[in-house]
Amino acid sequence: MKTTDGLQANNQIHKSKRTFYPNVLSDQELLDVIRNEYIELNPKGCWDFFKRRTKSPSLPYLQKRFGLTFNEILIVAGVPQDKLNFLRGEVRDREYYLRQLTEMAEKLGHTPTVNEFKQHGGSPHHLPLIFGSYNQAVLEAGLVPNQQRAKTYSKKQLCRIYKDISKQIGRPATARDLDTHSDHFNSSAFINAFGGLNQLRAEAGFEQSKRGRDRRYTKEQITQMLISEYKKKRDRLTTREIQQNKNLPTFMTILHYFNVHSLTEVWAEIEGVIAKNHLREEPPIKALGDLGERRVAHQLEYLDTSMYQVFNNITIRHGQLEQQIDHLVVGVNGIFHIETKNHYGDISIDRHGNWTQVNKSSIHPFTNPQGQIDRHGNMLTQILNNQYEVTGLVVFSNRKCRLSGMDRTSLYVMKVENLLSFIQTYNDGHRLSPDEISRVCRLIEQGSVVTEGVLV
């Protein structure tokens, strides 16, 4: 019979398959390990590399440590370009792209935008991999980035550009027209300079729009609209999704009514309203917990349903004992039970193994989730007749949460955005056949009291 200690030991065995501990290596030493193993394996892609790797750490660990995508890490590590066989298109050296940018600027008479660079045969998606960002490549080419160039335009020049765009489309340009037709910058540059689109129209000699006066929103109306769209997607909408959504006002209108400068601030307020609405009906912790569980459930929807079965909010029973599990994933490469935490602030573990939460300069002890994970894992192992290994994960779903010192625990701890890649690349040497996956799911369903949102 497998015990909690056995589960911990198995996790430690999986971690100890590597011949080193990555935290004791410098960044350059770790990059050397990644480069050498990548060249040795010559994988077909990212998933193939992490399935076969024996020395390199997991993808979530690398992303957390370097703050880069895997492709970017490979380039920084010095993987030869001919070995980057899963990048789209051929990646050339720095001088090639700098020369390409300079030649385009001379031809156009100004710094090329991303769209212009693409239209003239460039590959803009390669530049961030080599230079860090498109604008950084522009700077290294000795050019002025478009965003900086926009700041040097006077109101008179902006007004002339607005008139030219309006003449081109045959009517006074809207904010969306400016975003579409301006080669230099977006509508926010015009609106910020004149204090609003109607003021710009008046300055340009056009009749002011009456639509805003006859059909004026309130912040409460926009709040309800955003809550409705948030619930449909079960996540935040991007700027592009808002601009394309006919049920919502424009991006700039939303910022105006919320009196903020970024969409992140808008969504933080919207999620606060959603949490407060839950508070009226449910205990505070559950309201916040449910919001976090929905974020995790949304991520799990993107798992390949031919390879994974997902259970959300399931209560399991063995004998007289019951345990509630937030999420359970049964897949070809393992059985994962997930405990979701929606806390925010700085969550850290000190060298003595103590967990703390720092929020707004106040420090609070944070309950170590090890016991909870062990209880869930132990009961699942018994329900599965001690025939299958299970892996416990602790996932923090709040975007305002920062993790540090997680290498000081044997648990797998991560942010929600790293959950999919962890599950998909996890490899402890055991594989489940389709028949085994079906059998495990049947045993879980037989041992469950309440099951909600089973994804099949």
What are the domain boundaries of the chain? 4-83, 94-149, 153-211, 219-279, 304-455
Q: Does 19 have pLDDT greater than 70? A: no
* Residue with more model confidence, 146 or 243: 243
Cα(50)–Cα(48) distance, integer angstroms = 6
Ramachandran area for residue 453 (φ above 0: left; ψ -120 to 50: alpha; else beta): left
Mean pLDDT of 32-37: 90
Mean pLDDT of 319-347: 90
| Tens of pLDDT, residues 401-415 | 889 888 888 899 999
Cα(34)–Cα(62) distance, integer angstroms = 10
| Tens of pLDDT, residues 387-402 | 999 999 999 998 888 8
Residue 64, amino acid? K
3-state secondary structure 55-66: CCCCHHHHHHHH
| Tens of pLDDT, residues 263-287 | 888 888 888 787 666 544 434 434 4
Q: Does 423 have pLDDT greater than 90? A: yes
pTM over the 0.85 mark: no
Cα(126)–Cα(134) distance, integer angstroms = 9
Quick one: pLDDT at residue 454?
41
Quick one: pLDDT at residue 336?
95
- Structural contact between residues 308 and 330, judged by C-beta atoms closer than 8 angstroms: yes
CB count in 10 Å sphere of residue 358: 15
Ramachandran area for residue 353 (φ above 0: left; ψ -120 to 50: alpha; else beta): left
3-state secondary structure the chain: CCCHHHHHHHHHHHHCCCCCCHHHCCHHHHHHHHHHHHHHHCCCCHHHHHHHCCCCCCHHHHHHHHCCCHHHHHHHHCCCHHHCCCCCCCCCCHHHHHHHHHHHHHHHCCCCCHHHHHHCCCCHHHHHHHHCCHHHHHHHCCCCCHHHHHHCCCHHHHHHHHHHHHHHHCCCCCHHHHHHHCCCCCHHHHHHHHCCHHHHHHHCCCCCCCHHHHCCCCHHHHHHHHHHHHHHHCCCCCHHHHHHCCCCCCHHHHHHHHCCCCHHHHHHHHHHHHHHHHHCCCCHHHHHHHHHHHHHHHHHCCCCCCCEEEEEEEEEEECCEEEEEEEEEEECCEEEEEEEECCCEEEEECCCCCEEEEECCEEEECCCCHHHHHHHHHHHHHHCCCCCCCEEEEEECCCCEEEECHHHCCCEEEEHHHHHHHHHHCCCCCCCCHHHHHHHHHHHHHCEEEEEEEEC
| Tens of pLDDT, residues 335-370 | 999 999 988 888 988 877 888 888 765 677 888 999
Mean pLDDT of 81-95: 59
